[in-house]
Structure 1
Amino acid sequence: MTPGQTVDDLFLLANANQAQSKNGPYWNITFQDATGSIDGKIWSPKSLEYPTLEPGQMARVKGFVESYRDKNQLKVDHMDLLETSHPDVDLADFLPTSSTPPEELMEAIEDLVTEHMKHKPWKIFCKRVLGNEEVRTKLLTAPGAKTVHHAYVGGLLEHSLQVARACMALCTVYPHLDRQTLLAGAIFHDLGKAWELSGGLANDYTDEGRLFGHIQIGMEKLEPFLKKSRHLDEDLKLHFKHLITSHHGEHEFGSPVRPKTPEAFVLHFADNMDAKLNIIDQAYADMDKTGAQWSPYMRFLERNVFRPTTTPDSSQKKNAKPENQCLLPLKA
């Protein structure tokens, strides 16, 4: 969307909250479809026609795009709410999805287990968790976050796979690391997010997610599998639990404990790195639409980001436009 563009289309209301200005109440809304999202406004007196609006509702929206503080927003002239069962509504059109199908992401994670898990109890544990019907169903649709990074169907699997790959690469650089315990921690560090977030159209925090958070939920989901793993040494289980509970790094970032082993530090930094690179990837995708070199100010990174000129690759076709792609190939 570009400033001045008129809009007449279907959207999902990803967020909706009412605020007050000197001219009366107005609505702040985030409109979403599978291609992305845009913030919007319904100003008074038009806002009075909508006494209540809820995330997850569908709407046909008429209005135009304007620029506010270097960011596009949608000014709504008229909006009709629709039921999700309406014949014009195909839910797949409104849920952003990983560029790699979730089934392929799951297969890639299972390939990592096959390749790196040489200790049979670790391999059995990982395959038992990934093969559990409830866990597998949740993982195949779970987003990686509500809004910040990997906030789309398959986002949790994509993030877990990238963190696991980064950890395995660092094990090659630092061979003293416990590769197998680290891999188990990387694969399951965010498992609780599959229950912390509802996913689906609204993708909001569940009651369980608000009350406990994904770290505690993840530990509760993993504990029955750990108890069944009688041949897995208790010291390995203890270290694995530490990786899960310390991966946020610092108390102010929601970590119950701080990393206290080399593997815990590696997991924390790999997790943080992948989240930030995904945020930058999304910013670059928006910048591609306008040709900008600088992004707007990004609150979660506390800075603008810049797209630098990349070094030419002689193996690429001359004058070919370089692509930004943080995702590693699925197959080596």
Structure 2
Amino acid sequence: MEKGHHVKEITPPCEAQGVFAVSQASLAQSRNGPYWRLALSDATGTLEAKIWSPLSAEFAEIPVGSLVEVQGRAALFREQTQLTVERLRVLSDEEAAALPPADFMPASPYDLDEMMAELHDLIGKEFVHKPWRKFVQGVFRDAELAAAFRVCPAAKSVHHAYVGGLLEHSLGVFKLCRRLADQYAELDRQTLLAGAIFHDIGKIREFSGGLVNDYTDEGRLIGHLELGIEMLAPFWQKAGLEEGLVRHLKHLILSHHGEPAFGAVRLPQTAEALVLHYADNIDAKMAQCRGLFAALEAEEGWTPYQATLSRALFRGPRTPQASPTEKEPRKSRQRPADDNLLSLL
């Protein structure tokens, strides 16, 4: 079976046919009868779809997470592409298994194995205090935990919301914190870097991952800050990490959202906690910028309004790169008369 159209290829008005993952499905009521409201997804994006009456009555259930073969007509509705479904069939388990998962799950643009190798190399260089090294390496020696860390998304929708997003984001925050620790020697470098690696590790249990990434029950009830501490506790106990360092690491994890309104359990109250919060925020914001700018068709222009940033963003002209033959500006020299004058002052 062929994938057919990808979401990004559907430009209304047009006929569309393809296989998509059902990421949302709900039955609603209109004046003309019941209808299905769907969100159809693949690796390139998500598309809103409707199954109107009387066709809607043919489906007693459309399981979220299933793959469906769809045919319909795409049109613009309130400036958004919407598909009116004319035919829909839920694929069997055998048919779904035969299709490449990469067609339906967006993934990090960076190679996951290369990012893991880079992270392990940096861990070996940075953690010279034996308990810190034993703790950090111990987490990644847990095969199940390391495998989940490699592929887990970092969010449901806002930033790094794709396979490998947690790894990409954690590595990005780690590298930012390294540079800040180079600049500010008063920081406890190893505590800060441990917080950078593990600040979001609780997302492994907060999100389901898979074709339809959603919050788990414990993700909704507890959240990834507390879940992360729960997951890490056996490893720092086994490593013999000093009590004061454990307490500081807990604070970094619990405060990295910055404000209670954004989910922080405590305000950042150490220099390292402040650095981690801002590094985390910068990496998340830049990921949102990349996603918004990637959707622009022109080299310059405005993005649509982004609710999570409370603004639209403008991508302006780039400063031209110097050509290989372009010479550095010649440094000015004072005239002899100026030198003589300065010597008299």
Taking structure 1 as the reference length, what is the TM-score of the superposition?
Answer: 0.88
1:150 aligns with one of 160, 169, 183? 160
1:312 matched to 2:320: yes
User: 1:295: which partner in 2?
Assistant: 303
Offset of 1:39 from its aligned partner? 2.4
1:196 matched to 2:225: no
Could you report, residue by residue, the CA deviation over 1:245-277 in whole angstroms, capped at 9, with x for unpaired residues?
111111111111111011111111111221122
The residue correspondences of 1:68-83 to structure 2 (distance < 5 A) are 68-83=77-92
Deviates more, 1:185-194 or 1:267-276: 267-276
Q: C-alpha root-mean-square deviation of aligned residues, in Å?
A: 2.2
The secondary structure found in structure 1 opposite 2:186 is coil
In 2, Cα distance between equivalents of 1:301 and 1:173: 29
In 1, Cα distance between equivalents of 2:324 and 2:77: 39
1:59 aligns with one of 56, 59, 68? 68
Could you report, residue by residue, the CA deviation over 1:215-242 in whole angstroms, capped at 9, with x for unpaired residues?
1111101001111122x32111111110
Q: Is the 8 A contact 1:70 1:296 kept in 2?
A: no
Specify the code of the residue in structure 1 equivalent to 2:203: K
Deviates more, 1:213-222 or 1:34-43: 34-43
The secondary structure found in structure 2 opposite 1:287 is coil
1:181 matched to 2:183: no
User: 2:99: which partner in 1?
Assistant: 89
User: 1:20: which partner in 2?
Assistant: 29
Taking structure 2 as the reference length, what is the TM-score of the superposition?
Answer: 0.85
The residue correspondences of 1:268-279 to structure 2 (distance < 5 A) are 268-279=277-288
User: 2:181: which partner in 1?
Assistant: 171
In 1, Cα distance between equivalents of 2:314 and 2:218: 38
In 1, Cα distance between equivalents of 2:183 and 2:74: 49
Q: Is the 8 A contact 2:299 2:315 kept in 1?
A: no
Q: Which sections of structure 2, spanning at least 5 residues, go unmatched?
A: 1-9, 327-345
The residue correspondences of 1:30-49 to structure 2 (distance < 5 A) are 30-49=39-58
1:280 matched to 2:304: no
Offset of 1:18 from its aligned partner? 3.0
Offset of 1:11 from its aligned partner? 0.6
Offset of 1:154 from its aligned partner? 0.6
Q: Is the 8 A contact 1:246 1:257 kept in 2?
A: yes
Specify the code of the residue in structure 2 equivalent to 1:67: L
Q: 1:283 to 1:316 in 2, by over 3 A?
A: farther
The secondary structure found in structure 2 opposite 1:226 is helix
Deviates more, 1:136-145 or 1:71-80: 71-80
Deviates more, 1:200-209 or 1:135-144: 200-209
Specify the code of the residue in structure 2 equivalent to 1:126: V
Offset of 1:10 from its aligned partner? 0.6
User: 2:3: which partner in 1?
Assistant: none
In 2, Cα distance between equivalents of 1:47 and 1:79: 10
Deviates more, 1:219-228 or 1:269-278: 269-278
User: 1:103: which partner in 2?
Assistant: 113
Deviates more, 1:112-121 or 1:259-268: 112-121
The secondary structure found in structure 2 opposite 1:31 is strand
In 2, Cα distance between equivalents of 1:316 and 1:65: 48
Q: Is the 8 A contact 2:26 2:37 kept in 1?
A: yes
Q: Which sections of structure 1, spanning at least 5 residues, go unmatched?
A: 319-332
Offset of 1:77 from its aligned partner? 2.3
In 1, Cα distance between equivalents of 2:264 and 2:186: 25
1:243 matched to 2:252: yes
Q: Is the 8 A contact 2:33 2:53 kept in 1?
A: yes
Q: Is the 8 A contact 1:18 1:27 kept in 2?
A: yes
Offset of 1:316 from its aligned partner? 8.3
Offset of 1:317 from its aligned partner? 11
The secondary structure found in structure 2 opposite 1:223 is helix
User: 1:256: which partner in 2?
Assistant: 265
Q: 1:75 to 1:272 in 2, by over 3 A?
A: farther
Q: Is the 8 A contact 2:256 2:277 kept in 1?
A: yes
Q: Is the 8 A contact 2:300 2:316 kept in 1?
A: no
User: 2:332: which partner in 1?
Assistant: none
User: 1:328: which partner in 2?
Assistant: none
Identity %: 46
Post-superposition, which runs of at least 4 consecutive aligned residues in structure 1 deviate over 4 A? Answer: 315-318
Specify the code of the residue in structure 1 equivalent to 2:38: I
Offset of 1:207 from its aligned partner? 2.2
Deviates more, 1:73-82 or 1:142-151: 73-82
Offset of 1:165 from its aligned partner? 1.0
Q: 1:211 to 1:112 in 2, by over 3 A?
A: same
Specify the code of the residue in structure 2 equivalent to 1:52: E
